[in-house]
Amino acid sequence: MAMRRWGILLLLFVAGCSRTPPVETAGPAMRPPLILISVDGLRPDYLDRGATPNINALAASGVRAKAMRPSFPSLTFPNHYTLVTGLRPDHHGIVNNNMEDAAIPGKAFALSNRDAVIDRRWWDQAEPVWVTAEKAGVRTATMFWPGSEAPIHGVRPAQWMVFDGKLPNQARVAQILSWLDQPQRPGFLTLYFDTVDHDGHEFGPDAPETTAAMAEIDARIGDLVAGLKARGIAANIVLVSDHGMIAVAPERTVRIDQLLPAGSYRFISGGALAGLEPMPGQEAALAAAVLKPNDHMQCARKASLPARLHYGRNARVPSFVCIAQPGWMILGQPPREGSRLGGMHGYDPDVPEMAATFVASGPAFKASTVLPVFDNVDVYPLLMRLIGVKALTSDGDIAGVKAGLK
């Protein structure tokens, strides 16, 4: 009997030793939940229009950056993945909202292509917060975040939602609060709003419709804060955007199809930047045409792009990249009849209108603190610090935001 008792104790001891805590300090259950909120297309100066009292209250009780510099290209999917990996698009592989990969033949990635969005092969060049957290025993839940529908490295968030752009913003907030009501409360949650970006694209950044969209999202932030307070949950909230927005107009358009020899290229992506691949045997002809000086765009072979953009080494970046003059667009064909476009993003991150927003509040943050401009790769190490899980190697540095922490 004594030998049996010692055997049981030995098994318990070995089992206990085999569970190496992945957290940096306190256990996940001891930490306040972290809610990462993205308001797509929210420029930092939008918060000065008098339409966002709830977001401004978060900033007053916590931290606000003068601006956050997005990664190039300043597009939705590349920057959302940067925020949760700390890697620039050239390093995490989501190099554009539309892209191709020779290693994934016959397939093309696009925001609207659900088969591509859930295909882990597009995402597996990096590991986002929720994957590392789940591996470390921190429960996660994502209300719409690019990549969260795919089993990245075979892992999904414990709870996640299939993207539905028609799901009301009230329902999105309600789902977050519902997850927090569960006995197994998530330690990391994401919440995504696309209304401001949608209206900014359609009507332009300075339109009353865009300001109204900001007011609507601000009201939902108020609902979230009120819901947390009613539940006695002192969460850490990090509110970000992926990029800003600049006004565009139909007359400020470069038509690639009118400048390049027909049949010499494939048009991979357009907008603020265009990606072009030469047809077989046509590289010299395409280069001769596309590299000519143009008043409203700059084109280069991907290996010759400015080093400060940190872009062009990934195999998914097209052979030739053209970047439009701010406020101009690059199209590969005539725009659809009746289409309306008043705003655009994707330009050089140093263009002031491309600046993104950063606001944070909660028990981990100082009050009434304004941070200088920092790169959005610095958000990732902050998130990992807040959930108590060791960050993977990244392009970010918590020094960019450390002054806002208690």
Residues with active-site annotation: 76
CATH fold group of domain 28-245+348-404: Alkaline Phosphatase, subunit A (3.40.720)
**Which CATH architecture describes the domain 253-340?**
2-Layer Sandwich (3.30)
pLDDT tens series, the chain, 406 aa = 333 333 433 333 333 333 333 445 455 557 999 999 999 999 999 999 999 999 999 999 999 999 999 999 999 999 999 999 999 999 999 999 999 999 999 999 999 999 999 999 999 999 999 999 999 999 999 999 999 999 999 999 999 999 999 999 999 999 999 999 999 999 999 999 999 999 999 999 999 999 999 999 999 999 999 999 999 999 999 999 999 999 999 999 999 999 999 999 999 999 999 999 999 999 999 999 999 999 999 999 999 999 999 999 999 999 999 999 999 999 999 887 777 899 999 999 999 999 999 999 999 999 999 999 999 999 999 999 999 999 999 999 999 999 999 9
> Secondary structure of the chain in the HEC alphabet?
CHHHHHHHHHHHHHHHHHCCCCECCCCHHHCCCEEEEEECCCCHHHHHCCCCHHHHHHHHHCEEECCEECCCCCCHHHHHHHHHHCCCHHHHCCCCCCEECCCCCCCEECCCCHHHHCCHHHCCCCCCHHHHHHHCCCCEEEECCCCCCCCECCECCCEECCCCCCCCHHHHHHHHHHHHCCCCCCCEEEEEECHHHHHHHHHCCCCHHHHHHHHHHHHHHHHHHHHHHHHCCCCEEEEECCCCCEECCCCCEEEHHHCCCCCCEEEEECECEEEEEECCCCHHHHHHHHCCCECCEEEEEHHHCCHHHCCCCCCCCCCEEEEECCCCEEECCCCCCCCCCCEECCCCCCCHHHCECEEEECCCECCCEEECCEEHHHHHHHHHHHHCECCCCCCCCHHHCHHHEC
Q: Sort 6 into a burial class: Cβ within 10 Å, 0-12 / 13-18 / 19+.
A: exposed
Residue 263: φ, ψ to 5° = 80, 5
In this prediction the pTM is 0.92
Residues 209/203, Cβ–Cβ less than 8 Å:
yes
Q: Where are the domains of the chain?
A: 28-245+348-404, 253-340
Q: Sort 7 into a burial class: Cβ within 10 Å, 0-12 / 13-18 / 19+.
A: exposed
